[in-house]
Amino acid sequence: MTVHRPADLASASAADGEYRAGGTDVEERHRLGISTGPVVDLSGIDELRGLVVTDDGGVRIGAMTRLTELETLGGLMADAVRGIVPGLRAVGTVGGELLQRTRCWYFRHPNTLCLKRGGDACPAREGDHLYGVVFDTGPCVWPHPSSLAPALVATGAVAEIYGGPDRLVEDLYGDGSDPSRDHLLGPGEILVAVLVPSVDRWSHVRVEPRSASASPLVEVAAAETGGVLRVAAGGVAPAPRRLMAVEEAVAAGAGAREAAAMASEGAAALTGTAYKVPLLQAAVEEALETLA
Amino acid sequence: MGSIEVTVNGERRRITPTGRTAVDVLRVDLGLTGTKLSCGNGLCGACTVWVDGVPAVTCVMPAEALDGRDVVTVEGLSAEGLHPVQHALLAADGLQCGFCTPGMVMAAAAFHDRWRRDHGTGRPGRQEVVDALAGNLCRCGSGPAIIAAVQDACEGRYDTPGPYPRPRIDGLAKVTGSARYTDDLTFDGLLEGVVLRSTEPHADVLAVRAEAALALPGVRGYADLLGRSRRVRYTGQPIGVLVAVDRATALAALDVVEVVYAPHPAAIGLEAALAPNAPNTHLRRWTPPSNNEARPAPARYHGNARGPQFAFSKRRFTARRLVKAARAVGDPLLVEETFRIPHQVHAAPEPHVAIARWDDDALTVWVSTQSISSLERKLAKRYDTEVTVISHHVGGAYGAKQSITDEVVAAVEGARVAGAPVRVRYDQAEDLSYSGHRPGDRIDLALLASATGELRAVQVTSYADGGASAGQTVAGLVRITYPGAPMDLADYDVVSNAPPGKPFRAPGFPQVLVALEQAVDEVALRLGDDPVDLRRRWSRRPLRHLLYDRVAAHPMWRDRPGFGAERGRHRRGVGVAFGTWYYGYDPAVRVAAALEGGRLSVSTALQDMGQGAYTVLATAVADTFGVAVADVEVRAGDSRLERGPTSSASRTSPSVYPAASAAAVRLHAELLEAAAEVLGGPVEAVPGGVTHAGEMIPWPDLFDRLEDRRVEAGRPKDGHVPATPFPVEGVQIGWGLSDVAHLVEVDVDTRYGTVQPRRVYVALAAGRIYAPDLARSQVEGGVIQGIGLALYEERRLDLRSGLVLSADVGSYRYPAMGDTPEVEVEFIEEGFEHAPGGGAGIAELAITSAPAATVNAVANAVGRRFPELPLRPDRVLEALR
Ligand SMILES: Cc1cc2nc3c(=O)[nH]c(=O)nc-3n(C[C@H](O)[C@H](O)[C@H](O)COP(=O)(O)OP(=O)(O)OC[C@H]3O[C@@H](n4cnc5c(N)ncnc54)[C@H](O)[C@@H]3O)c2cc1C
Ligand code: SF4
Ligand code: FES
Ligand code: FES
């Protein structure tokens, strides 16, 4: 493996290869042989570090912040990553967590081809997609793996990008219609930090088939800021999904259960994932009930 | 890129990362093999070290990330005496195979230190410990003891250097990381072999073109593994082995090997193989490799179903007739159901790994195996040469590491063509895909009771789904469980183009009991009977009745909720099930006991995969002399020693303890005589030494004055004629059956359909227990693996390509720390007085009815039975609808 270690953003942006932050995802893919080529190690770049509370009570989290460090913040950020096992949290970074590649078992298998690996079909769609999406919004049927993204989307966080425009975290991912990508950052674009506004009330729910699962079945984050509630879900769509219909129902005065029922609006489950629909609704209901 | 500087265990070291991971640098460059490499993808925690004081996984950490940082490994932690957590793990026997232990120690020690700083000596809750150890998997199932040990250490119970109890003789080596497993060995000039695997589920291999690969720099040879039959029967079947100077070179070369196949139609998995017009998955008269202890019995094929074996049936046609008649009239006491059991993968933390070296004509194999002696004999026969097999510590096996496994053949053949020692080490995907599994099963069951609660008839047909393997007896085991009624029991092996199974702890029993014990509960429900009382009527065996009494009196059972009676979001459920296992032993084992250089020793070619075999061996000698277990040196793990047993079929302790005792008794007698001579007068034996002239002289004081000597013994004969006339594959089935009761309490979250195991009571009647602390660990392990089968574990197979999808421990979900219940173990040490030593084995017994009891507990909570395992949230929610 060829490793570049640029010292600043400009040379990182110009370097050739996949970025590597904590490396937990990149190293695994290289070990499996499903990713090859040079890597550009971001660990020597000071601009990507730092965890600062901003004047308005929000927080700016550098992309190279380790997931363990989020524990010091407490609140939604800490809760969102608690399901990732501690030894990985100590290595993985916020940037890598948000921009990691899918955990689809076809994609991660050393001997398969799929839409994300140069193939021309998705073997999971006709095959075994037990942990797949319920919002079938694109050719790829595996949910986006990030646990932090739904939480950031719920807070309305902004991603600071080097080499491209800043944007809402929500807009880092698109609608999942392009199966080749797990996020929309292009070559030379580097996530520098996320700006997380302060929130008044929040909640987080993770549903796992077994404790310490690599990928939860469903995750829901809810956050309220200045009377505006945002709800987002992971585990259900090719991109972290904002649940607007739920938000609207709450705004219109619906109770938790009634609003939660709206979580499945737009859902089109696969044969093997229909069970996730009630799980999503239940998780949203709990998230609304426990908003504190 | 260049080198970096890192502080490791207090020393500044300069390392050259060259694009590798931190674990490779620690293990290979720095020789710190206490840190283990298991899953390689960040989830199991075996590779945990402290980086700047924080436990971190190193298998997915780039080595460059160590630049300027401070690393402490288990070796460093242990350098100045043991950490309290290490003392506690040793005292509570919170380990078995020990492969997860160093990582566990590092995570737990960090938690301990943090806890003590913040809370003094307050006892942490279970959940706090579980959260800290969430990323440390223990496949042996030592979770209950680990959690308790960490809690104890946090309370300050192990703050001084001790001494504290150390029931496990090789425990210290395991908690300090000094135990060297096969995977930790290296030697100069060691080459790496990687297996070329079939990409076709069913084909003839017409040609393998390896020339281009062989021409690459660093590639040292290619050896064929298919042999005369050129047929491959599953995707992933080994075709050959490619040997190179290192793994990366070998893998790169593998990419340019060209294989020419003539594909045959394939049937992947049970349903496809049983479908009408399914293609033939086998050759005529082909006997598939075994997924059980013995070779599959001769049988005919009906399509792809091999069988039936119905030897265990009893008044077969009566049973059929009774069931048919009951069905015709809609008898409410006829319980009929089709059950589906998933494939359970062994997933041992130490991967399958073997190193082979040829010297002239002699072959030495270092291998992670549970069958040193028999492997030596089999290899010697196969290669017609002198063979040595070495395996000092084994990182888990559970049945998959016996006999001549593929990685052994690959290493031996690879070493032969390369003319140098070769290692073949499976990566995680290979290990979880191709190294074996408990076959899946479809069980058609009909059970008929009378209105008075008598068992009238049982009809069970099992279709074992062992892929390209056979030999699983499932239905037949009903006969051993409830022998009274007429029964029609048929066992088929459905041969399909999927990876073959291997024996997995208690082959057949967990599967059949999930069906049978649910059906019994259902009958009890329909009759309005107590499930334990009903079972009393179906078995006459005294040991079983002791267990029925124990369960009936247990508060967990007495306070159980009614079937489906709980309300609210969280529902408690309590379930019971009973299991049985044979009493088996290897009559041909030999054990030597010796006095050497003033120390007692005991030796045999035995392996310890965590079951505590080395400790049992030492205990036999220690018991005889009345000295401490630690005073006995154990020599094992090497086929050049006396012939040892294979560690499967629960035969280890019942084989070696009596033989070791016999040797020890003779040695003791000889040493008494020698003592009399040295002391110049009569001596009398007392525990721990002798008395001479009114004075007690401890053995250790005498040993230095006595000459070395060595005696060898076999296993004394049983006091009862054995159940089988002669041993098969080294197992003689003795007289008598051992029994177990599993009582399980779960919490079902009806909102999400998730199940949390809370408490387990397990009682075993297997005669005398030789090393109780270790036996308890093994039992807890069986319980947790059983819970895994019931609730979480299932191999997932892509039915089109035949690829195993659950190829990492993130997607092959076996119980983690958070799924660990509290376990209460009770031994009823009766029933095997006829056995020399008085004990039968417990390894398999411990798992047999654990899944069934777990399923019954969930059924009790939600008021529905579960024909299909595992009880995933989707299935539980479905049942609740
Ligand atoms: C067993 C297991 C269980 C897991 N469970 C969970 C889970 O429950 N929830 C969850 O969210 N995650 C989970 N993960 C994933 C884990 O959180 C990620 O691997 C980790 O957070 C990635 O961080 P990293 O810094 O190591 O990323 P890296 O491996 O360094 O990078 C990941 C990707 O992000 C890109 N990248 C990283 N930083 C930047 C940047 N600043 N700008 C542009 N691109 C960048 C890289 O190019 C790469 O493609 C799990 C992983 C494993 C192995
Ligand atoms: S679901 Fe997505 S990642 Fe998985 S195989 Fe299909 S395209 Fe590939
Ligand atoms: S080997 Fe690193 S976490 Fe499993
Ligand atoms: S002791 Fe934990 S895996 Fe064996």
Given an 8 Å threshold on Cβ–Cβ distance, is B61 in contact with A85?
no
Structure tokens at B490: 């048929």
The pLDDT value recorded for residue A211 is: 85
Residue-averaged pLDDT of chain B: 96
Using the atom order of ligand 3, give the atom closest to the CA of residue B37.
Answer: 1
CATH number at residue A104: 3.30.465.10
Residue in A with minimal Cα distance to B751 = A282
DSSP B658: H
Q: Do A88 and B816 touch (CB under 8 A)?
A: no
In a domain, A123, yes or no: no
Q: What's the confidence (pLDDT) of residue B282?
A: 85
Three state DSSP letters for B447-514:
EEECCCCCEEEEEEEEEEECCCCECCCCHHHHHHHCCCCCEEEEEEEECCCCCCCCCCCCCCHHHHHH
CA B177 and chain centroid, separation: 21
Ligand 2 atom nearest to CA at A116: 8
| Structural domains of chain B in order of their starting residue, each with its CATH number | 1-179 (3.10.20.30), 191-263 (3.90.1170.50), 270-345+437-520 (3.30.365), 355-427 (3.30.365.10), 541-583+731-880 (3.30.365.10), 590-714 (3.30.365.10)
Contact B21 A27 (CB under 8 A): yes
Would residue A163 count as lying in a domain?
yes
- Judge whether A113 is closer than 8 Å to chain B, CB to CB: no
Interface contact flag, B808 A214, Cβ < 8 Å: yes
Residues A163-190 have pLDDT tens digits of: 999 999 999 999 989 999 999 999 999 9
pLDDT confidence of residue B185: 97
In this complex, which of A3, A126, A210 lies closest to B813 when CB atoms are compared? A210
Within a domain: A125: no
Q: What pTM was estimated for this model as a whole?
A: 0.97
Each residue of B726-750: pLDDT tens digit?
898 889 999 999 999 999 999 999 9
Mutate to test the pocket of ligand 3, among B57, B106, B133, B137 (most ligand atoms within 8 A of CB): B57
Closest to B738 measured CA to CA, from B781, B769, B759, B777: B769
Which tens digit of pLDDT belongs to each residue from B21-47?
A: 999 999 999 999 999 999 999 999 999
User: What is the number of CB-based contacts under 8 A between chain A and chain B?
Assistant: 167
Cβ pair B62:A126 closer than 8 A: no
Closest chain A CA to residue B53: A90
State what percent of residues in chain A have pLDDT above 70.
100
pLDDT at B1: 53
Q: Please state the rounded mean pLDDT for residues A66-87.
A: 96
Q: What is the pLDDT of residues B685-735, one digit of tens each?
A: 999 999 999 999 999 999 999 999 999 999 999 999 999 888 988 899 999
- Is-contact B752 A283, C-beta < 8 A? yes
Residue nearest to atom 3 of ligand 3 (CA): B42
Pairing relation of β-strands A218-225 and A228-234?
antiparallel
Structural domains of chain A, count? 1
Beginning with the edge strand found earlier in the chain, give each strand of the sheet holding A218-225 in spatial order.
A201-207, A218-225, A228-234, A241-242
CA distance B30 to B12: 12
Q: Given the CA of residue B95, which atom of ligand 4 is nearest to it?
A: 1
pLDDT of amino acid A210: 85
Nearest ligand 2 atom to alpha carbon A104: 4
Residues of A within 8 A of B799 (CB-CB) are 127-128
Interface touch B61/A23, C-beta < 8 Å: yes
Q: Ligand 2: which residue has its CA nearest to atom 6?
A: A122
Question: With 90 as the cut, is the pLDDT of residue A214 above it?
Answer: no
- B815·A88 Cβ contact <8 A: no
Q: Taking residues B632-661, what's their average pLDDT?
A: 94
Tens of pLDDT, residue by residue over B551-571, are 999 999 999 999 999 999 999
> Is A55 among the domain residues?
yes
What residue's CA is closest to ligand 4, atom 2? B138
Q: Does A152 sit in the ligand 1 pocket, CB within 6 Å?
A: no
In a domain? residue A124: no
C-alpha–C-alpha distance, residues B404 and B401, integer Å: 8
Listed as own residue / partner, the contacts of B683-692 with beta carbons closer than 8 Å and 24 or more positions apart are B686/B626, B687/B626, B688/B625, B688/B626, B688/B627, B689/B626
Dihedral angle, C-alpha B411, B415, B421, B424, nearest 10 °: -20
Residue A278 lies inside a defined structural domain of this protein:
yes
Q: Which residues contact B849 (CB under 8 A, 6 or more apart)?
A: B509, B510, B513, B517, B577, B578, B579, B740, B741, B742, B786
B817 contact residues in A (CB cutoff 8 A): 211-212
Retrieve residue B220's tokens: 């040292």
The sign one gets for the Cα dihedral B111, B117, B118, B122 is positive
Which residue in this structure is represented by tokens 């291997």?
B502
Estimate to the nearest angstrom the gap between the alpha carbon of B424 and the chain centroid: 21
Nearest CA in chain B to A26: B60
Among the bound ligands, name the one nearest to the CA of residue B44. 3
Task: Report the residue among B35, B38, B99, B808 best suited for mutation to probe ligand 3: largest number of ligand atoms under 8 A from its CB.
Answer: B38
Per-residue pLDDT for B241 more than 90? yes
Q: Which numbered ligand comes closest to the C-alpha of A120?
A: 2
Output the average pLDDT for chain A. Answer: 96
Q: What is the pLDDT of residues B456-490, one digit of tens each?
A: 999 999 999 999 999 999 999 999 999 999 999 99
- Give the structural domain span for A166: 3-115+130-289
Q: How far apart are CA A94 and CA A81, in angstroms?
A: 10
Alpha carbon of B250: minimum distance to chain A alpha carbons (Å) = 13
Distance B95 CA to ligand 4 centre (A): 6
Task: Determine what percent of chain A falls in helix, strand and coil, rounding each to the nearest 5.
Answer: 30, 20, 50
The whole-angstrom distance between A55's CA and the closest CA on chain B is 31
pLDDT in tens, B381-411: 999 999 999 999 999 999 999 999 999 999 9
Q: Rounded distance, CA A85 to CA A287, Å?
A: 22
For tokens 């960040």, the residue is: B42
DSSP strand pairing (B599-603 vs B632-635): parallel
- Residues B46 and B99: beta-carbon distance below 8 Å: yes
